Amino acid sequence: MNAYWSDRRRPIYESKQLIYFVSACKHGSFRKAAAALNINQSTLSRRILGIEDMAGKKLLSRSIHGVKPTTDGERFLLRAELALDIIAKIDC
């Protein structure tokens, strides 16, 4: 079984992927999100494309004015933020 898929054939996302997606949505721009994350803009763009590939859906609408979540992207964003909030609350 691929480490990125659950037994129900749903993708399993890494927290870094969720952080990248949330940052792109919050900043509304790959350039601004990449700068905030201290990574290259093309790297962020490729990672977002990988997330969309895993999800099997277009999650961001891209234009010359920036990026914004699609309807599916809004749903993914809410779930990503919830997952990151839960991860942040894990007490070791």
Please check whether residue 1 lies inside any domain of the structure: no
| Parent domain of 39 | 15-87
Please check whether residue 32 lies inside any domain of the structure: yes
Please check whether residue 68 lies inside any domain of the structure: yes
Please check whether residue 9 lies inside any domain of the structure: no
Q: Which two tokens stand for residue 92?
A: 């070791």
Residue 61 sits in a domain whose CATH number is: 1.10.10.10
Locate tokens 């997606």: which residue?
21
pTM, to two decimals: 0.87
Number of domains in the chain: 1
- The pLDDT, as a whole number, for residue 52 is 97
Locate tokens 């993708």: which residue?
11
Which residues contact residue 52 at a Cβ distance below 8 angstroms, ignoring those fewer than 6 apart? 58, 59, 60
- The pLDDT, as a whole number, for residue 91 is 73
Residue 24: phi and psi, rounded to 5, are -60, -40
Q: Are 26 and 33 in contact (CB under 8 A)?
A: yes
Average pLDDT per block of 10 residues along the chain, 92 residues long: 55 93 98 98 96 96 96 98 94 69
